[in-house]
Amino acid sequence: METNKKIKKRKLSIKKLTIFIIICCIIVCFVILFSGEEKMVKSRYDKILLIGIDAMDPKVTDKLMSEGMLPNFLRLKEIGSFSKLSTVLPAESPVAWTTIATGTNPGKHGLFDFVTRNPENYLLEVSITKQKSKYSTKFESPVKGIPFWRITSDAKIPTTVIRWPATFPPDKVNGVMFSGEGVPDIRGFSSGYYIYTSEGLDEEKKIKVSVNDGMINSKVFGPLGTDRKSIEKSIQIKVDKDKATIIVDNKEYPVDVGGWSDWIRIDFKVGFMKKVSAIAKAYLFSIEPEFNMYLSSIQIDPENPVVDFSYPSKYSKELADAIGLYNTLGMPEDTNALNENAITDKVFLEQVAQIEDERNKMFWYEFNRFDKGVLAFVFDSGDRLQHMHWDEKNLFNVEEGLSVNKEVIDYYIKKDKLLEEVLNKIDNKTALMVFSDHGFTSFERAVSINTWLVENGFMTLTNDYNENDEGALFKFVDWSKTKAYSLGFAGIYINLKGREGQGIVEEAEKEEVINNIIKKLEDFKDPKNNQKVITNAYKREEIYDGDYVEDAPDIVIGFEPGYRMSWQSAIGGLTPEPVIDNLKRWNGDHIVDPSHVPGVLFTNFKINNENPSLLNIAPTVLDILKIEIPKEMDGESLV
Ligand SMILES: [Zn+2]
């Protein structure tokens, strides 16, 4: 017989053993959990939602989170992660989004700037809307690398990509692709508004009208005809006391003073029995004493597109059936009209609000049917808003150079509300990544690198140079005495013999010219305040590698915050002074050294890298979907 003492002792040891086993189990669990975090993330998810918010800035995000204004971004940070996302050089949307999509540096995807040049004749070419030939209505992709959606599509994974920049024309994916930045309007432009006015004379963007017996007879300009001239369409505007009615093809579109019209449908006859269908919206400023009306870019009709901007092509109509007609132009926020004082801030903000409303409808249309694979959606109005509203100095002064307008704050708050709904609706099998391509800074001084090249003896102008002419497209450049020229928002090209049409720099001399320019650029001081203008100037081989490095500018400039390439220099022109005040409404920018303008990254899972970059996104997408990461990708998975 065991004594009570013995029984007690044995019970105690069983108890100890049980506790020991439990502790061991907990330790084992922890070991498995942490060493296998990576595997867990991969097996936990069967689909991935990517929300791109162009130009979402970490300084603003941090500030608004700390003020309690972005509770859902804070919630996402606590669930998973929040970090700055290193961006690319130059920090421009098409380059950055393509870097994200391909997981490669620009040397492998071939997109280096909004614009590039034809080395033979120094003519400017728009990179993101690339016509197959000069007068062709066929377009080709500006991207040479392989974006993640082609890889997921090849792996038969359902893939939907909506409004990703630089994706026109759309790729054939295993799902839906809907192009964003890069889609042209009906005339092949990225912006083409008109002001109909009874004041002044006909000008480039002004159409002079006169009111006769309460009626205006006028016209709109459509696509180019076979004679290379715009096909015109007549319109009538019936004018009442405080409203007008636009009449096109016997259909009436009323518009109040201080209000917007509905979508106006405009069909252009382009040949026998052939028509091109378009849409536009009007805003009526005034009728008395003068008639003033804004007409937006005339855009591709999504119900009957003259050029496909969605895949499958019927998707653009399907979307219009679901959410109503919508802006199809890649960048419909009319920053040009505001910059040129053709519209007021109120009109611009109302337009942005309408566009965001459409984008939200597009997002929820796709989200509500998303049950497998990958859904990627890019919101980009915030970029245009910040360009026009960065430096208003009326709200936050968290640090020098950062003051943010209420309209920008409202945009971030709206995105937080969207995130709240997303977080409430996604299931636990969905990996979520929210990210931006770059941040933002102010644009106070405009730098004409071409003027600087002249002053430093690398460029020579012809005798007929005239200071009042901005000399776009190198109008005054004497190529026989020019060693280097600048085109685009960050690039300098050497006028190389054998490569450039009128090149003079010998191959053997090239390196020395590049070194001289870089050395001098790094000493470049703003004459106004003696501040450094350039953070760094890079040889292309230092920052890019891959098959397309040869297409890059020879030198790529990273400006200091507050400085940016002048509009004139970007198109091959120049200003009399190398640095001038930026007096335009467009007073925020991001095409500075990438170290100053990282983007943001939020995830609903832990990531393995404290300093992620744009290059990590695509490999992470593939990894989570259990697809092998191609060797060409420069980045690694974050899980
Ligand atoms: Zn931008």
Question: What is the Cα Rg of the chain in Å?
Answer: 28
Q: Say if residue 402's pLDDT is above 60.
A: no
Mean pLDDT within 391-417 = 71
Residue 162 or residue 143, greater confidence: 162
- Taking the alpha carbons of 105, 383, 71, 393 in that order, is the dihedral positive or negative? positive
Instruction: Band the pLDDT of 398: cuts 50, 70, 90.
Output: very low
2 C-alpha to center of ligand 1: Å?
84
| 560 Cα–ligand 1 center, Å | 16
Q: Which two tokens stand for residue 508?
A: 């053997």
Q: Which helix (H) or strand (E) holds 540?
A: helix 540-543
- The per-residue pLDDT for 18 is 62
End-to-end CA distance of the chain: 60
* Cα 172 from Cα 625, distance rounded (Å): 20
| Higher pLDDT among residues 10 and 296, named by residue | 296
Q: Where are the alpha helices (DSSP H) in 110-230?
A: 148-154
In the structure, what pLDDT confidence band is assigned to residue 6 with cuts at 50, 70 and 90?
A: low
pLDDT tier, 457 (very low <50, low <70, confident <90, very high otherwise): very high
* 354: exposed, middle or buried (Cβ count in 10 Å: 0-12, 13-18, 19+): middle
Residue 482 has pLDDT above 90, yes or no: yes
**pLDDT tops 50 at residue 87:** yes
CA 332 – ligand 1 centroid, Å: 13
Burial class of residue 137 in the structure, from the number of CB atoms within 10 Å of its CB (0-12 exposed, 13-18 middle, 19+ buried):
middle
- Ligand 1 center to 55 CA (angstroms): 7
> What's the rounded mean pLDDT across residues 217-232?
88
Model pLDDT, residue 37: 53
**C-alpha 379: how far from its chain's center?**
9
Compute, in angstroms, the gap from residue 446 CA to the centroid of ligand 1. 16
Spacing, Cα 31 to ligand 1 middle (Å): 45
What percent of the chain shows pLDDT beyond 70?
Answer: 91
Preceding amide of 90 cis, omega within 30: yes
pLDDT band at 476; cut points 50, 70, 90:
very high
pLDDT band at 41 (very low <50, low <70, confident <90, very high): low
Alpha helices in 58-177 (DSSP H): 58-66, 71-79, 93-102, 106-109, 148-154
Higher per-residue pLDDT: 5 or 476 = 476
The pLDDT score that the predictor gives to residue 32 is 45
Give pLDDT tens digits for 515-537.
999 999 999 999 999 999 999 99
383 CA distance to ligand 1 middle (Å): 5
Question: Is 400's pLDDT higher than 70?
Answer: no
pLDDT (0 to 100) of residue 203 = 83
User: What token pair was written down for 273?
Assistant: 């029995």
Residue 25 pLDDT grade (very low, low, confident, very high; cuts 50, 70, 90)? low
Give me ligand 1 centre to Cα 360, in Å: 20
pLDDT at 211 over 60: yes
C-alpha to C-alpha distance for 65 and 88, rounded to whole angstroms: 25
| Residue-level pLDDT at 31 | 47
Q: Ligand 1 center to residue 436 CA distance, Å?
A: 11
Q: What's the gap in Å between 344 CA and the centre of ligand 1?
A: 20
Residue of 381, 363, 350 lying closest to 418 (CA atoms): 363
- Beta-strand ranges (E) seen in 274-336 are 274-280, 282-286, 292-295, 299-300, 310-311
> What is the Å distance from ligand 1's center to 599 Cα?
12
| Average pLDDT, integer, range 328-340 | 95
CA of 71 to the centre of ligand 1 (A): 26
Q: What is the pLDDT of residue 113?
A: 95
DSSP-H helix ranges across 182-253:
none
Q: Given this model, what pLDDT does residue 273 score?
A: 81
Query: What DSSP element (H or E) covers 521?
Result: helix 507-522
Q: Given pLDDT bands bounded at 50, 70 and 90, which one contains residue 29?
A: very low
Q: How much distance in Å is there from the Cα of 380 to the middle of ligand 1?
A: 9
Query: How far is Cα 31 from Cα 34, in angstroms, rounded to an integer?
Result: 5
Q: Ligand 1 centroid vs 625 CA: distance in angstroms?
A: 31
Cα 12 to ligand 1 centroid, rounded to whole Å? 70
Whether 555 contacts 491, CB under 8 Å: yes
Q: Is the pLDDT score of 55 beyond 50?
A: yes
519 CB-near residues (< 8 Å, 6+ apart):
none
- Going from the Cα of 382 to the center of ligand 1, the distance in angstroms, rounded, reads 9
Separation of CA 475 and ligand 1 centre (Å): 28
How high is the pLDDT of residue 39? 55
Question: How close is the Cα of 248 to the center of ligand 1, in Å?
Answer: 35
- pLDDT surpassing 80 at residue 4: no
DSSP assignment of 247-272: EETTEEEEEEBTEE--PEEEEEEEET
Residue 193 is predicted with a pLDDT of: 95
Using alpha carbons only, what angle is made at residue 520 by residues 514 and 521, rounded to the nearest 5 degrees? 85
pLDDT at position 459 over 50? yes
The tens digit of pLDDT for each residue in 587-627 reads 999 999 999 999 999 999 999 999 999 999 999 999 999 99
Q: H/E element holding 224?
A: strand 215-224
Q: Is the pLDDT of residue 185 over 70?
A: yes
pLDDT for the residue numbered 392: 42
Question: What is the Å distance from ligand 1's center to 93 Cα?
Answer: 6
> Does the pLDDT value for residue 396 go beyond 90?
no
**How far is ligand 1, taken at its centre, from the CA of residue 21, in Å?**
59
The pLDDT value given to residue 112: 97
- Residue 189, pLDDT score: 77
- Percentages helix, strand, coil for the chain (3-state, rounded to 5) are 30, 25, 40
For ligand 1, the distance from its centroid to the CA atom of residue 589, given in whole angstroms, is 6
Cβ neighbour number for residue 530 with a 10 Å cutoff: 7
Mean pLDDT of the chain: 91
- Output the CA torsion 571→574→577→583 (10° steps): -40
Quick one: which of 29, 34, 38, 49 has its CA closest to 429? 49
Specify the CATH number of the domain 444-589: 3.30.1360
pLDDT on residue 53: 98
Q: Which pLDDT tens digit goes with each residue over 260-281?
A: 999 999 999 988 888 999 999 9
Q: Give the lowest-confidence range in 141-145, 352-356, 519-523.
A: 141-145
Pairing of strands 130-131, 139-140: antiparallel
- Residue 411 has a pLDDT of 95
Which of 451, 447, 452 has its CA nearest to residue 562? 447
From the list 491, 480, 590, the residue with the least C-alpha distance to 540 is: 491
Tell me: pLDDT of 240 over 50: yes
Range in 36-40, 59-63, 116-120, 477-481 the model is least confident about: 36-40
SS3 318: helix
pLDDT at 20 over 90: no
27-31, 61-65, 195-199, 459-463, range with the lowest pLDDT: 27-31
State the maximum Cα–Cα separation within the chain, in Å, rounded to a whole number: 121
Q: Whole-angstrom Cα distance, residue 490 to residue 112?
A: 9
Taking 60 as the threshold, does the pLDDT of residue 576 lie above it?
yes
Report the alpha-carbon distance of residue 382 to residue 411 in Å, rounded: 7
Residue 391 Cα to ligand 1 middle (Å): 14
* Domain boundaries along the sequence of the chain: 4-35, 45-88+146-183+330-436+601-624, 194-300, 444-589
Q: How far is the CA of 47 from the centre of ligand 1 (A)?
A: 30
Q: Rounded CA gap, 178 and 163, in Å?
A: 6
Q: Are strands 194-197 and 175-179 parallel, antiparallel or unpaired?
A: unpaired
User: Do 315 and 160 contact (CB within 8 A), yes or no?
Assistant: no
Cα–Cα distance measured from residue 520 to residue 56, given in angstroms and rounded to the nearest whole number: 33
